[in-house]
Amino acid sequence: MSPAIRSKGLSTRSFRAYLQLGLAVLGMVVIIWGVFGLATSVSLPRSDSGFAEGLGIIFYGVYVLGGFVVLAAGLLVPQRDDSGIRFSAHQRKLLAYGVVAPIVSVLVIPIGATVSPPLTEPVIDVLVAVLAALILSGPLATMTALGLKLHSHRQ
């Protein structure tokens, strides 16, 4: 860095801040692309079986979920100086949950389908509802952490 820049009090951003910002932006781009894909796939003309529409919803839904995982992982990059976004311990726990919960829930689907015995219809309905809640809780935890950060920043 040149002496003129250093004398004005400007400093270069740290690598961690660039990594945090880059991963968070990548996560947001993937989320926006997935939501746009969901919106366009829902507006397509319906077929008789609905298989293509369902496959598109699953495909873009996984992209949105992956975007939230990348966003939360990017925001979890620890900052040692004032160049990045710092989170409290509670907010960091929410972000960590936002990374882990979707990954675990998506891995439970194929593992559970291969090792579980045949179950009755009511048990399957309850398991699907619990799995859907677990999948959605990760993005909700990430958005809660961001909302708490915005709220604490305003005060």
Has residue 103 been placed in a domain?
yes
Residue 3 lies inside a defined structural domain of this protein: no
Given this model, what pLDDT does residue 10 score? 40
CB atoms closer than 10 angstroms to residue 29: 13
In tens, the pLDDT along 42-67 reads: 776 776 677 777 888 888 999 999 99
Does 1 reside within a domain? no
- Whether residue 31 lies inside any domain: the answer is yes
**Is there a contact between 13 and 85 (Cβ–Cβ < 8 Å)?**
no
Quote the number of domains for the chain: 1
Q: Are 91 and 124 in contact (CB under 8 A)?
A: no
Domain range for 85 is: 13-154
Q: Would you say residue 76 lies in a domain?
A: yes
Q: Regarding predicted confidence, which is higher, 92 or 10?
A: 92
**Is 4 domain-assigned?**
no
Tens of pLDDT along 57-103? 888 999 999 999 999 999 998 887 777 888 999 999 999 999 999 99
Q: Which spans in 43-84 are helix H?
A: 51-75
**pTM across the whole model:** 0.81
Among 26-40, 46-60, 99-113, 123-137, which stretch is predicted with the lowest mean pLDDT?
46-60
For residues 85 and 3, the model is more confident at 85
